[in-house]
Structure 1
Amino acid sequence: MIRDIVFSPILPLPVLAVLAGVAVVLLAFAAFRGLSGWPFRTLAALLILGWLTGPSLQEEERDPLSDIVLLVVDESASQDLSDRPAQLSEAVEALTARVAALPNTELRVVPLTDAPDDRGTLLMTALSEAMADEPRGRLAGAILLSDGQLHDLEVSPDFPAPVHLLLTGAPEDWDRRLVVENAPAFAILDEEVTLRLRVEDQGDVPRDIGSTTPLLVSIDGGEAQEFTIPVGRTMEVPVTLPHGGMNVIQFTLPEAEDELTTRNNSAMVRINGVRDRLRVLLVSGEPHNGERTWRNLLKSDASVDLVHFTILRPPQKQDGVPVTELSLIAFPTRELFMEKVDDFDLIIFDRYKLRGILPASYLENIAQYVENGGAVLFAAGPDFATADSLYRSPLARVIPTAPTGRVIEQGFRPRLTDLGARHPVTEGLGGLHGPEDTPSWGRWFRQIDLDPQAGEVVMSGVDDRPLLVLDRVGEGRVAVLGSDHAWLWTRGLDGGGPQLELLRRLAHWMMKEPELEEEALTATAEGQTMTITRRSLTEGARSVTIEAPDGTETTVPMEEITPGRFVAEYQGAELGLYRLREGDQEAVIVLGPAAPREFEETIATGEKLASYVRGTEGGVLALSGGVPNLRTVPEGRNAAGRGWIGITPREAYVTQSTRLTPLLPGWVWLLALAALSVFAWLREGRR
C-alpha cells in the first residue's frame, strides 16, 4: 500500500494565487500596524488556502514489475569463424545465469542472423525491434554479443539504460582480403581490359607474412593464370575476354597461414564481352535472288561490317567490253583473300564455283583460316554438284559433306532432325521433326544432294536427305546449307521461315558464343535461388553437383524440359561462390558477391560502437578475457568497469487500485478556522 497526498483545487490556480497575494498584503499590513493577533490571522489564511487546494489522501495498491535486460546475440556468418561459436555459447549461458540471480529481473535473448540481400549485420535494427516489443520503463540494460562489425549504425536507438558490447574473437586474429576497385560491365573482345585490385591485411598481422602474394585469375572456371601482386597497394591486372557474352572472371588469393577466413580471398567479376564490329566477307558466285537476301540480312544489322565480293564477268564471258572500262580500280583480291582473311569473323560462300578467279593458293589460305579458328558458311547451289564445285578445291578438307552430283528439283519443306531439335543452333525455331509431324516452315524447291562425311545434320529436306550440316574443323567451325532457296522464307512463301534467326544463330555458333555451345552448363540467379541449365546432344538422366562456399556438396537431379535441355533449381543457403559440375562440364555462379558484405571486415572491433555505448554509460569488453560479472548501478552512474558491467533497476510497477479520501473532514477545517479566528479576536481585544 502506497500513500500520498494529492491536490484537487476548488478554484483555478490563478484565482488561488490572487487570493494568496491579497492575504499576504493584508497580513503584512496587520503586522505593520502592530495588531497582536496577526499570527493567528496568518494561520487562518493558510488554513483557508489549504482547504481551497482540495488536499486528499491517495492510497494505491501496486504490483512491482520486473526489470528487462535485452541480450542481442549476433549469429551472422562472420560469427562462425575461429572459436567464436564457443565464445557465444559460453557467454549466453553465463549471462543467463547471472541475470537469473538478480532479483526481479528477466532476460530477453534476441538472435540475429545475416540480413537478406547482402545487407550485412543489422545489429541496431535488431536492438530497435526488441525495444519496440517491451515497455520502455522496464528496460534496465542491453548486452550485445558481437564482433562489432555492424552495417546499420545510423539507426541506433535512444536506449533508456546502459548498453554494453561484449566482443567475440581474439586479440591475435588477422585476415587478408581481396578488393576489386573497378569492374566494367562491358569490354570489347580481343582487346585488353585493365582491372584494379588491392590486397588488404587487417588485424594483428604476423611479422613473417611477406609483402607480396600470388593471385590466380581464371575465366569461366578454366585454367588459372598466376600473378604476383603487392599487399596494401593497388595493382593493375590485364585481362582479355575469350568469348562474347557473359564472362565470369574469378580472382583468388591462396590461404595465408593462420588467417581468420578465406571467404574474402576471392572476388568475382562479370564482364559482358561484346564485339566491336562483326566483320563478314560474302563471296557470291553470280547474281541471283538469294544473293540480295543474304546482303539485305547482313546490312540490316548495324553491328556488321560487310565486304561483298561478286564475280560479274567470268573469264569465259565474251561481250567485247574492254577490261579497262569495267571498273575504275582493280579489286584487291590478293589483299582480301591472303593478307586480310584473318580479319574476318565469318566468310560466306554463296553459290560460288571454281572459275579460275581465285587461285588454289587463296582457297588453301581460307582452309588454314578455318583450321586456325575461323568460320565459313557454304550456301550451296547447283554448281556445288558439278566438277566446278568448291569440294574439288583445297577447301575439301574442311567441308563436312561430299556432293553426290545430284540436284533435286521439287518442292519440300525443311524440317529439323532429331539431333537438330536438341542442337542450340536450331532448337525452338519451329520446324517440327519426326515422321508423324507436319513441318510448319515454307517450301523450298531445290536441294543439293549431300553425303555427310563428318559433323552433325540438324536439318533435312527431301526424303530426309541432309540439308544443314554443322562441323568443327581444327579450331574453327563450318556450316553447309544444301540449298540456295532460303531466300523464299524472306519472301514469305507458304508462311516463310526463320531465315534471319537461323543466320544469326549460325553466325554466333561459328564465333563460339557460349550460349550456343552444344555441351554447356550454365546458371542464373535471382536472390538466393539459382536456375541451372545443362544443354547436351546426348540423352539420359542427369544430375548436377553443387559445391557451396563452405565446401559442402549437394547433388540435385535435373529435369529435361525440352529435347537436349535439362534444368534444376537450387536454393542457396548462403551468399558467395558456388561451383557446379555435371559430367565433364563445370561452371561457377555467385549468389550476391563472391565475398559477402559480412566478410568484408572480419576482425572484431569496438570502434564503431564505442561512441554510442559511452553515451548510455555502458562499456566495451572482450570475451577473450572471460564473461564479465553483472551488477546493478543507480541511474546516471557509470555502468562498466574492469571485469564487470551494470544494469540500472527501473522499479517499474502496475497500479491495481486507487482510493482517494479527504485529508481532513470538513468539520475539522471549520473548527480549526473558527478557533484561530476567536484566538485572534481575544488577543486583540485584551490589548
Structure 2
Amino acid sequence: MNTSVIFIPLLPWPIIAALALITALLLGLAVWRGLSGWLFRALGACVVILALLSPRIQQEERQTLSDIAIVVVDNSASQTLGDRAEQTETAFEEIETRLSNLGNTEIRRVDVGDGAGDSGTRVMTALTRALNKEPRSRISGIFLISDGRIHDIENVPDLSAPMHLLLTGEPSDWDRRVVVETAPAFAILDEEVTLTVRIDDTGAVPDGSSLAPLEVSVDGAPPITLDVPVGRSIDIPIRINHTGRNVFQISTPETEGELTERNNIALVQINGVRDRLRVLLVSGEPHPGSRTWRNLLKSDSSVDLVHFTILRPPEKQDGVPVGELSLIAFPTRELFIEKIDDFDLIVFDRYKRRGILPSVYLDNVRRYIEEGGAVLVAAGPDFASADSIFRSPLSEVLPASPTARVIEQGYRPKVSDIGKRHPVTSELGASEQGADWGRWMRQIEVTPVDERGGHVVMDGYENAPLLILDRVGEGRIALMASDHAWLWSRGFEGGGPQLELLRRLAHWMMKEPELEEEMLGAEPVGKDIRMTRRTLADEAAPVTVTSPDGESSEHRLVETAPGVFEGTVEGDEIGLYRMSDGELSALVGLGPVSPREFVDTVSGADWVQPVLDATRGGAKRLSEGMPTIRTVKAGRPANGRGWLGVTPREAYDVKDMKTLVLLPAWLSLLLASGLLLIAWLREGRR
C-alpha cells in the first residue's frame, strides 16, 4: 500500500493563486492597522483556500514489476569466424544466470543475423524494435554479445539504461583482405585500362614480409601472380580480350593464422566494347549485290570500311596490262601484308584469282585466319570456276570445296537442324522451313570438308549446304554458297533478315561470348543465380556449383530452346560462385564477392564505444573472463574492473486505488464561518 495527499482544485490554479495573493495583501493591511481579529480572519481565509484546493488522501495498492534486461545476440556471418559462435552462446548462458541471481529481473533475448541485401549487422535496428515492445521504465540494462562490427550504429535509439558490449574474438586475431579502389565499368578492346588494388592487413599482424602475392585472372583462366607491397595501392594495367562481360578475379592466397579467406578475393566485371569494327571488303566481278554489301557495312557508324573493288569484268580483254588498269596504284601490299592484322573482318564478295593478289597475299590471309582473324566468303559462279579462290592457299582453311556446279533455280533459304541450335541462326525468326523468307535464285554446289568439322547452319536448293561456319586455329571463317543474299535487302518476295544475319555472323566471328556454340554462363537474378548452357549437342552435362563457403552441389539443366539449357541455383550466401560442367566454367558474384560482414573481421569496440560512453556502459572482452553484474543507481558509472552494472527501475502497477476527502464542503463552511465570527466578536469588544 502507498498513501499520498493529492489536490483536485475546484478552480483553475491561477485563480486560486490570485485569491491567495489578494487575501495576503488584505491581511497585511489588517496587521498594519492593528486590527485585533486579523489572526482569525487569516485562519478563515486559509480554510477557504484549502477548500478550493479540495485536498484528498489517496491510497494505492501497488504490484511491484520486475526489471527487464535486454540481451542482443549477434549471429551474423562474421560471428562464425574462429570460436566466436561458441563464445557467444557461453556468454549468453553466463549472463542469463547472473542476471537471474539479481532477482526481480526478466531477460529478453534478441537474435540478429545478416541484414537484407548485404546491409551488414543491423543491431541497432533490432534493438529499436525490441525496445518498442517493452515499457522503457522497466529497462534496467542492455547487453550486446558481438564482435563489435555493427553497420547501423547511426540508428542507435534513445537509451535510458546502461548499454554494455561483451566482445567476442581474440586480441591476437588478424586478417588480410583485397580491396579494389578503382575499376572501370567498361573498356575498349585491346586498349589498356588500369585497376587500382590494395592488400590490407588488420589486427595483430604477425611479423613477416612486407610483400604479398596477388593473383589476377580473367574469365577463369590461369592467373598471373604479382608480388605487391602490403598496405599500398598499386595500378595493374589490363587489356580486354573480348566484348561483353569480362570477369577479373583478383585474389591473394590464404595466409596461415588469418581469420578468413572470404575477403581475399575481389571480383571486377568490366564490359568490353569494340571501338570500331575494321572491315576489308574485297569485291570481285561487279554485280547487284556489291552495292548492297557496301551499303550494309557503311550504314553502321561503328564500322570502318575499306573497299577493294575490281571494276574490270573478265570478258573485257583489250591487252592493257593489269598493273596499268588503275590511275592510282591500289595499296595491295600494304593491305594484305603489312596491315592485314589491323582488320577485324575480311569479306570476299565474288572474288576470284586474277593475278592482282598473288598467292603469297592469299597465303597471308590464311595465316591471318589461323592466328585469330575472321573471313567471310560470299561465293558466286566464280567460286565454281577454275579461277576460284579455293584453288589458292585459302583451300587449307575453307570449310567446303566447290563441285563446279552452279544451280540457277529459285529456292527459299532455311535454317538447318544444326542451325536451329547454333546461336548465329537460331534466332533469325523464320518459320519451320523458312517460308517467311524470299527466294534466292542462285547457289553454288559445295561439299563440306568433313575433317574440318564445320557446321552447315543454313540449307538451300534441295537441302544443299548454303552457309557453313568453321573454326580454323584461333580464327573463324564463314562460307555463303550464294551471291543472292542481296535479294533480301531489296525486299524480293518479302525479303529476309540479311542485316540480322550479317550482324550475327560478324559478332560470331568477333568471338562474342553470347554467340559461342559451346558456352556456360551465369547471371544473378535477385537472390538466385540463373545458369545458361548453350551447346550443339543434344544433352548438357550436369553443372557443379561451388558456393562461397566451399560446398559443392550438382545441378541438371533443362532445355528451354534448341541448344539452350537453363537452371537456377538458390543463392543462400553472398559471395563468389563457381560453375563447371567438366569442360567449361563460369564465375558469378552474388552481391559483392566479399560481403560487408567480411570487410572488417577483426573484433573491436571502437565502433560502439561512443554509444557505451553515452550510457555510462562498458566493453569487456570475453576471452579475458566473464564480468560480474552489479546494481547501480541511475546516473552513476555502470562499469568497472571486472564488473558491469544495471539500474534497478522499481517499476510497479496500480491494482486498486481509494480516495478520502480531507475537508468536506460542510466542514469547510462551518470552520470558515466560525473563525470569521470569532474575529468579528473580538474586534467588536475592542
Post-superposition offset of 1:556: 1.6
Post-superposition offset of 1:566: 0.5
For 2:574, give the aligned amino acid.
L
Moved more, 63-72 or 186-195: 63-72
Give the TM-score taking structure 2 as reference length: 0.95
Alignment of 1:154-303 (within 5 A): 154-207=154-207, 209-303=208-302
Residue in 1 that maps onto 2:406: 407
For 2:308, give the aligned amino acid.
F
Is 2:588 the counterpart of 1:592?
no
**Change in CA separation of 1:402 and 1:321 when aligned onto 2, cut-off 3 Å:** closer
Contact 1:363–1:393 (CA under 8 A) maintained in structure 2: yes
**Change in CA separation of 1:438 and 1:345 when aligned onto 2, cut-off 3 Å:** closer
For 2:442, give the aligned amino acid.
R
Q: Distance in 2 between matches of 1:263 and 1:252?
A: 10
How high is the sequence identity, in percent, across the aligned residues?
58
For 1:217, give the aligned amino acid.
V
Is 2:74 the counterpart of 1:78?
no
Q: Distance in 1 between matches of 2:66 and 2:303?
A: 78
Contact 1:416–1:432 (CA under 8 A) maintained in structure 2: no
**Change in CA separation of 1:449 and 1:318 when aligned onto 2, cut-off 3 Å:** closer
Post-superposition offset of 1:481: 0.5
Contact 1:314–1:357 (CA under 8 A) maintained in structure 2: no
Q: Give the match's secondary structure for 1:118.
A: coil
Q: Distance in 2 between matches of 1:240 and 1:444?
A: 43
**Change in CA separation of 1:525 and 1:427 when aligned onto 2, cut-off 3 Å:** same
Contact 2:488–2:496 (CA under 8 A) maintained in structure 1: yes
Residue in 1 that maps onto 2:375: 376
**Change in CA separation of 1:397 and 1:493 when aligned onto 2, cut-off 3 Å:** same
Q: Deviations over 1:348-400 (max 9, x none)?
A: 10111111111111111111111111111111101111111111111100111
**Change in CA separation of 1:220 and 1:90 when aligned onto 2, cut-off 3 Å:** same
Q: Give the match's secondary structure for 1:607.
A: coil
For 1:601, give the aligned amino acid.
D
For 1:54, give the aligned amino acid.
S
Q: Distance in 2 between matches of 1:629 and 1:444?
A: 92
Unpaired runs of 5+ residues, structure 2, are: none
Give the TM-score taking structure 1 as reference length: 0.95
Post-superposition offset of 1:643: 2.0
Post-superposition offset of 1:528: 1.9
Unpaired runs of 5+ residues, structure 1, are: none
Is 2:440 the counterpart of 1:441?
no
Alignment of 1:103-182 (within 5 A): 103-182=103-182
Contact 2:182–2:196 (CA under 8 A) maintained in structure 1: yes
Q: Deviations over 1:439-468 (max 9, x none)?
A: 432211111111000211111112211111
Residue in 2 that maps onto 1:334: 333
For 2:613, give the aligned amino acid.
R
Contact 1:74–1:112 (CA under 8 A) maintained in structure 2: yes
For 1:131, give the aligned amino acid.
L
Q: Deviations over 1:141-168 (max 9, x none)?
A: 2212221112222221111211112211
Residue in 1 that maps onto 2:31: 31
Alignment of 1:328-477 (within 5 A): 328-432=327-431, 437=433, 439-453=435-449, 454=452, 455-477=454-476
Residue in 1 that maps onto 2:512: 513
Residue in 2 that maps onto 1:43: 43
Q: Deviations over 1:510-530 (max 9, x none)?
A: 121211111111011123211
Contact 1:414–1:431 (CA under 8 A) maintained in structure 2: no
Post-superposition offset of 1:322: 10
Residue in 1 that maps onto 2:62: 62
> What is the aligned residue count?
683
Contact 2:58–2:657 (CA under 8 A) maintained in structure 1: yes
Q: Give the match's secondary structure for 2:263.
A: coil
Contact 1:363–1:395 (CA under 8 A) maintained in structure 2: yes
Q: Give the match's secondary structure for 1:236.
A: strand
For 2:396, give the aligned amino acid.
R
Post-superposition offset of 1:505: 1.3
Contact 2:533–2:540 (CA under 8 A) maintained in structure 1: no
Q: Distance in 2 between matches of 1:335 and 1:37?
A: 134
For 1:413, give the aligned amino acid.
R
**Change in CA separation of 1:493 and 1:135 when aligned onto 2, cut-off 3 Å:** farther
Q: Distance in 2 between matches of 1:41 and 1:659?
A: 34
**RMSD of equivalent CA atoms:** 2.1
For 1:412, give the aligned amino acid.
Y
Q: Distance in 1 between matches of 2:328 and 2:585?
A: 53
Q: Deviations over 1:538-580 (max 9, x none)?
A: 1125321110111011112211001111100111111111100
Is 2:639 the counterpart of 1:640?
yes
Contact 1:314–1:355 (CA under 8 A) maintained in structure 2: no
Q: Distance in 1 between matches of 2:320 and 2:462?
A: 46
For 1:14, give the aligned amino acid.
P
Post-superposition offset of 1:315: 7.2
For 2:204, give the aligned amino acid.
D
Post-superposition offset of 1:94: 1.7
Residue in 2 that maps onto 1:571: 570
Q: Give the match's secondary structure for 2:49.
A: helix
